[in-house]
Amino acid sequence: MTRSRSDSGTRRLTLELPAELVEWVWAFAEISHRTVEDVVRPLIEAEKARVTENWERNG
């Protein structure tokens, strides 16, 4: 995983994922007329919210 900084408050993230998963995400983004970022971002945000809620509840 690599990270690079940006002055805009966003960061670029590079992940090593299985080729099959990457191909699926690209294909899904294409058929849903979205970018890969638009597909992946809500998944990560939902997981973050779930984990944060769990930590706060059990904290």
Residue that has been written with the tokens 């998944």 in this structure: 43
Per-residue pLDDT, 6 = 60
Per-residue pLDDT of the chain (59 residues; tens, 9 = 90+): 555 666 678 888 899 999 999 999 999 999 999 999 999 999 999 999 999 999 999 97
Overall pTM > 0.85: no
Per-residue pLDDT, 11 = 87
Quick check: 6 and 12 in contact, CB under 8 A?
yes
